[in-house]
């Protein structure tokens, strides 16, 4: 072990690298470097923690090797389409780590607290209770989110009578046990274990009522929870850099959650107190009319004459892995004299920034990615809007139908464009299960089939011409 001054200096540098890396992640041009800067900060933090721990490094090295192998395999084998599920698992395991830290420290020190009650510091006790409570909720809630995203669990909201009341009672019991533990930690071993169980149960119960279409907000919130749990664990083991990094993750997650809630026209209280995304009753006014199909040749002739094109990607683009074909089509349209932009809805896909990640991976210029409000401002002058696998985020019922469950949710208003091409496999509803009247508009044409195949066919038409 070395002195406190070098360790604290190392922690300070690591914290600064976290903040700089987080700032760099806000721009596509610097995001990769920002990720590396943050990774260097984490490596430095780990090294400082090990130098200050006095632990047997053999077990540390074994753990590092196992973690490195698991991480490398996951990075190489997990497709971008499965990234939301991977993020959910990462959030969950972060919460589990915080829970285990709090639990392990309690088991290690409770006999000491029984002999010397004054040795239990208040901040450590509060941190232990919060690490267990928030960590447990994060772990089990993230597993449910992973199950919904991977379709191993039903994506629809799972509801039962008295659900809100039960959630509230369990939350109050868990908080009561946490307070009792803080007051008398030595004599609360069994209640402490009950607190662990209740936190895990609460995570399940507050996540199952959430529909799959609302998962981006849930992923963001659980990410914040994992940061808060890590911050609490930092107080448990008196680790400064863990407190700082956990606070950064918790704060940024809450900010992002607020942005996502605004994009969904939801309140944060809906998320915090459960039942978020549970839509019951009316599905809105039934969409009526006859959908008009178009083939790739017909779509090509319209696009060839277009001066402005807005592309609106959705989860269907991720499933078809069509982002590279989309970039190529955009380049050909620009070469033909059209102005091309991408309209990105904040909750398109299954996690925050899902479409941005996919398009960045395909090297689409960041300047072409426009936020919803900016692209809506120019939609009346748009010749063609191409909707690729998006559904609920372009559904005009959110604007026009007061009986729709998504009424009031801001959308990308593609229906105002002169022509709309919707690329879908079928006429099926989106993840929210709500009919979309856009499909029957006079200016809408349906280009059925796999999104990647359809885009590649359009690319071929331009190249042949």
Q: For residue 195, what are the domain limits?
A: 80-272
State whether 395 and 247 are in the same domain.
no
Residue at 286 is within a domain: no
| Mean pLDDT of all residues in 449-463 | 92
Residue at 291 is within a domain: no
CB 134 within 8 A of CB 128: no
Confidence of residue 5 (pLDDT cuts 50, 70, 90): confident
Give the mean pLDDT of the chain: 86
State whether 102 and 71 are in the same domain.
no
Q: Whole-angstrom Cα distance, residue 313 to residue 360?
A: 13
Any bridge partners for residue 424, and if so which?
A: 448
- Give the CA radius of gyration of the chain: 25
Residue 339 vs residue 160, higher pLDDT: 339
Helical packing angle, 28-51 and 4-24, nearest 10°: 160
Domain of 393, CATH number, reads 3.40.50.1220
State whether 73 and 181 are in the same domain.
no
Residue at 91 is within a domain: yes
State whether 325 and 221 are in the same domain.
no
Distance of alpha carbon 53 from the chain centroid: 34
State whether 203 and 61 are in the same domain.
no
Helical packing angle, 83-115 and 354-361, nearest 10°: 120
State whether 381 and 367 are in the same domain.
yes
Residue at 56 is within a domain: yes
pLDDT of 274 above 50: no
Confidence of residue 126 (pLDDT cuts 50, 70, 90): very high
State whether 307 and 426 are in the same domain.
yes
Of the residues 31, 61, 77, the one at which a domain ends = 77
State whether 86 and 50 are in the same domain.
no
Q: Whole-angstrom Cα distance, residue 115 to residue 103?
A: 19
Domain count, the chain: 3
Of the residues 206, 239, 272, the one at which a domain ends = 272
Residue at 283 is within a domain: no
pTM: 0.80
State whether 245 and 300 are in the same domain.
no
State whether 72 and 141 are in the same domain.
no
Residue at 17 is within a domain: yes
Residue at 355 is within a domain: yes
Of the residues 272, 288, 313, the one at which a domain ends = 272
pLDDT score at 432: 61
Residue 361 vs residue 203, higher pLDDT: 203
Confidence of residue 280 (pLDDT cuts 50, 70, 90): very low
Instruction: Please give, one letter per residue, the 3-state secondary structure of 104-139.
Output: HHHHHHHHHHHHCHHHCCHHHHHHHHHHHHHHHHHH
Catalytic residue positions? Answer: 392
Residue at 280 is within a domain: no
pLDDT of 99 above 50: yes
């Amino acid at each position: 072990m070395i002195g406190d001054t070098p360790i604290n200096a190392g922690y300070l540098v690591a914290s600064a690298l976290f903040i700089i890396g987080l700032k760099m992640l806000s721009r596509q041009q610097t995001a990769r470097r920002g990720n590396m800067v943050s990774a260097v900060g984490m490596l430095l933090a780990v090294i400082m923690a090990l130098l200050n721990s006095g632990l047997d490094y053999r077990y540390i090295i074994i753990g590092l090797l196992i973690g490195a192998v698991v991480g490398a395999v996951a990075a190489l084998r997990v497709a971008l389409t499965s990234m939301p599920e991977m993020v959910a698992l990462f959030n969950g395991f972060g919460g589990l780590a915080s829970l285990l830290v709090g639990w392990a420290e309690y088991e290690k020190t409770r006999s000491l607290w029984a002999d010397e009650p004054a040795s239990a510091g208040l901040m450590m006790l509060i941190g232990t209770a919060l690490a267990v409570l928030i960590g447990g909720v994060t772990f089990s809630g993230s597993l449910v989110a992973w199950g919904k995203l991977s379709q191993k669990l039903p994506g629809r909201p799972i509801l039962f009578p008295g659900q809100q009341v039960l959630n509230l009672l369990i939350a109050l019991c868990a908080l009561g046990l946490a307070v009792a533990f803080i007051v008398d930690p030595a004599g609360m071993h069994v209640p402490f274990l009950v607190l662990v169980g209740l936190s895990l149960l609460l995570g399940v119960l507050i996540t199952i009522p959430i529909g799959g279409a609302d998962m981006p907000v849930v992923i963001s919130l659980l990410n914040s929870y994992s940061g808060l749990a890590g911050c609490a664990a930092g107080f448990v083991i008196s680790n400064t850099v863990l407190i700082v990094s956990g606070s950064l993750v918790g704060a940024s997650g809450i900010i992002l959650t607020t942005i996502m809630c605004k994009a969904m026209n939801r309140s944060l209280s809906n998320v915090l107190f459960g039942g978020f995304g549970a839509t019951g009753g009316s599905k809105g006014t039934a969409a009526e009319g006859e959908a008009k199909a178009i083939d790739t040749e017909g779509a090509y002739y319209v696009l060839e004459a277009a001066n402005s094109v807005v592309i609106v990607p959705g989860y269907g683009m991720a499933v078809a892995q069509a982002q590279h074909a989309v970039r190529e089509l955009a380049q050909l349209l620009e070469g033909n004299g059209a102005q091309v932009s991408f309209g990105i809805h904040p909750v398109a896909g299954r996690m925050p920034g899902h479409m941005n990640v996919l398009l960045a991976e395909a090297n689409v210029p960041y300047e072409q990615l426009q936020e919803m409000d900016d692209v809506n401002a120019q939609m009346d002058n748009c010749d063609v809007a191409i909707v690729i696998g998006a559904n609920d985020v372009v559904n005009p019922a959110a604007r026009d139908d007061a009986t729709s469950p998504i009424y009031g949710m801001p959308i990308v208003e593609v229906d105002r464009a002169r022509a709309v091409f919707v690329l879908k496999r079928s006429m099926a509803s989106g993840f929210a299960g709500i009919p979309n009247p856009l499909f029957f508009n006079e200016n809408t044409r349906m280009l059925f089939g796999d999104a990647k195949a359809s885009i590649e066919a359009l690319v071929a038409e331009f190249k042949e011409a």
